[in-house]
Amino acid sequence: MANQIILVTGGARSGKSTYAEQRAGELGSRRLYLATAEAKDEEMALRIAEHQKRRGSEWVTIEEPIELADVLLARRNQIDCAVVDCLTLWLSNLLIRSDKNYVEEKVETLINVLPPLGFSRRFSHQRGRLGHRAG
């Protein structure tokens, strides 16, 4: 994986996933789509199916609601790029299932997997701290 992080943000159904998939197509052909959503109701099942259909067979898709760092580390030298969809759902999954210490450990582990890119790394840490203090 390249030492580059592109953060795509926006509201629900604003086109974040489509945009991220297009950008990933520019970064290489070995693409990983790491999906954190779980089909716990019919609406979410339909959204997941739409995403899968749109991506087609050009992607390796792994559905993992919790262990993002493990998946990224395991695939690190096998992919050109990864799209993680979505960090907000991932954090929600953690909070629903786990205690505070477990959540903090998982967040810190994921942050440490990300490439050490100076400003991007500092931004990521500070954004997390801001969210923690604001909550």
51 is catalytic: yes
Long-range contacts from 110-118, C-beta under 8 angstroms, 24+ separation: 110/68, 110/69, 110/72, 112/69, 113/68, 113/69, 113/72, 113/73, 114/5, 115/1, 115/3, 115/4, 115/5, 116/3, 117/3, 117/4, 117/5
The answer to whether 111 and 69 are in contact (CB under 8 A) is no
Name the 3-class secondary structure at 46.
Answer: helix
Going by C-alpha positions, the residue among 124, 25, 44 that lies closest to residue 83 is: 25
- Which residue among 51, 71, 81, 107 is the active-site one? 51
Residue 82, beta-bridge partner list: 32
Return the active site residues: 51
